[in-house]
């Protein structure tokens, strides 16, 4: 049976998961939307967004809607405004990464009161049906509410599971040039638990052209580039749109004795912060920008962030400053580099990945 929601939104649902939710009879006022996609039905509706994605939170806040990171204090005490209080329920959008979905479940169980209603929604091809086994392993009951648009919707109630969500954080060692680094890792971070081959090629290339001065690590991930460069004396500012990545980089720097003054020295400065490409860096310039930019958003290809990284780079580089970029060889970045810089060179090419260098004249 389908229904109209009792908390109608002014925007029509566009993503399949939201189209499925929009036809439910549930009253979602006062609920949390956890790890939500960008969708006008959500952003113009009811409830509070909980997201590790800065771009999602910024879109909600721009629309006058409450949005929070799981790494910040959350509004769990009753407030005069209806949205900003302990939620009446939560909807978890099941992510592509099964392990990340499990983390969100553990986090919700440890954060919200026992008995809080929880709905889980996701695309069938994205693994949503696996939540049945996950919930059973945690001792949580579950029933299927609906399915449509190649998506499924399940319902349960939160309860104590006896597992600390912090247990999802792990660490692994890498020796990209014979020198040991300990990297913090989390299911929500690119390259979880391993050194990405593209990043490895970029590090091999950087050995022969070591950046000096102020360096921006754009899309810092687990912090491998920031730690490697900081150990060699660069003043590194590391940014990522993903709060899990920012936290991972901070943990990586601390684990290698590279945090605070030990990282940057008395004469240098730097930081690790959330930024949607350059959104947190207005007016700031650097001697070098290094990056292994993503081109996926969940299961969809998305060149948008990488295009912004390249096209806006000259405004964030000092005269003579350089952009060092590694990317899959098939990606259409040469045209963007030509538009932004008027030229570029290929420093390395192993047929799978290329390292590009472009200089601000």
Residue 2: its pLDDT value, please? 39
Choice between 152 and 45, residue whose per-residue pLDDT is larger: 152
* CA–CA distance, 254 with 50 (Å, rounded to integer): 27
| pLDDT in the model for residue 8 | 40
* Arithmetic mean of pLDDT, 6-25: 81
What is the pLDDT confidence band of residue 266, given thresholds at 50, 70 and 90?
Answer: very low
Average pLDDT over residues 351-356: 96
The pLDDT of residue 265 is: 41
pLDDT at position 7, please?
43
Question: Which band of pLDDT confidence, cut at 50, 70 and 90, is reported for residue 84?
Answer: low
Q: What φ, ψ does residue 321 adopt, rounded to 5°?
A: -70, 160
The predicted-structure confidence for 172-222, as pLDDT tens digits, reads as follows 999 987 789 999 999 989 888 889 999 999 999 999 888 989 999 999 999
How far apart CA 42 and CA 44 sit, in angstroms, is 6
Among residues of the chain, what percentage have pLDDT more than 70? 89
pLDDT, position 80: 46
Closest CA to 53 of 347, 306, 305, 351: 305
Q: What is the DSSP string of 51-78?
A: -SBHHHHHHHHHTT--EE-TTS----S-
The domain spans of the chain are 16-162, 169-359
| pLDDT above 70: residue 267 | no
DSSP conformation class of 257: T
Which of 202-216, 249-263, 271-285 is predicted with the least confidence, judged by mean pLDDT?
249-263
Class in CATH terms, 169-359 = alpha beta
Residue 93, pLDDT above cutoff 90: yes
At residue 190, the pLDDT reads 86
Name the strands in the sheet holding 272-274, side by side, starting at the edge strand that comes first in the sequence.
272-274, 235-240, 214-218, 286-291, 317-328, 353-359, 345-349
**CATH H-level superfamily of 16-162:** Vaccinia Virus protein VP39 (3.40.50.150)
CB 321 within 8 A of CB 288: yes
pLDDT of residue 191: 81
Q: Does 170 have pLDDT greater than 50? A: yes
């Amino acid at each position: 049976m389908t229904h109209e929601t009792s908390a109608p939104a002014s925007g029509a649902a566009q993503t399949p998961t939201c189209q499925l939710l929009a036809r439910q009879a549930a009253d979602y006022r006062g609920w949390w939307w956890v790890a939500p996609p960008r969708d006008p039905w959500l952003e113009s509706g009811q409830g509070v967004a909980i997201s590790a994605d800065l771009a999602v939170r910024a879109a909600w806040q721009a629309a006058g809607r409450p949005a929070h990171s799981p790494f910040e204090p959350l509004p769990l005490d009753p407030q005069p405004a209806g949205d900003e209080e302990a939620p009446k329920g939560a909807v978890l959008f099941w992510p592509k990464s099964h392990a990340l979905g499990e983390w969100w479940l553990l986090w919700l169980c440890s954060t919200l009161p026992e008995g809080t209603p929880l709905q889980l929604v996701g695309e069938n091809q994205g693994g949503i049906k696996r939540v049945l086994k996950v919930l059973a392993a945690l001792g949580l009951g579950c029933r299927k509410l609906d399915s449509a648009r190649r998506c499924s919707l399940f319902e349960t109630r939160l309860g104590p599971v006896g597992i600390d969500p912090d247990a999802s954080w792990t660490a692994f060692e890498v020796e990209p040039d014979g020198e040991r680094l300990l990297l913090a890792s989390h299911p929500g971070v690119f390259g979880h638990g391993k050194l990405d081959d593209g990043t490895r090629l970029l590090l091999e290339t950087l050995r022969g052209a070591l950046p000096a001065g102020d360096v921006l690590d754009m899309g810092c991930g687990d912090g491998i580039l920031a730690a490697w460069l900081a150990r060699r004396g660069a003043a590194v500012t590391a940014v990522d749109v993903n709060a899990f990545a920012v936290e991972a980089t901070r943990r990586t720097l601390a684990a290698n004795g590279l945090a605070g003054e030990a990282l940057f020295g008395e004469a240098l400065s730097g930081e690790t912060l959330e930024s949607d490409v350059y959104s947190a860096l207005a007016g700031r310039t650097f001697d070098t920008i290094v990056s292994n930019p993503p081109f996926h958003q969940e299961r969809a290809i998305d060149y948008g962030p990488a295009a912004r990284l390249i096209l806006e780079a000259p405004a964030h580089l000092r005269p003579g400053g350089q952009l060092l970029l590694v990317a899959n060889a098939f990606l259409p970045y040469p045209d963007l580099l030509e538009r932004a810089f008027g030229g570029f060179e290929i420093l390395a090419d192993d047929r799978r990945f290329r390292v590009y260098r472009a200089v601000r004249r």
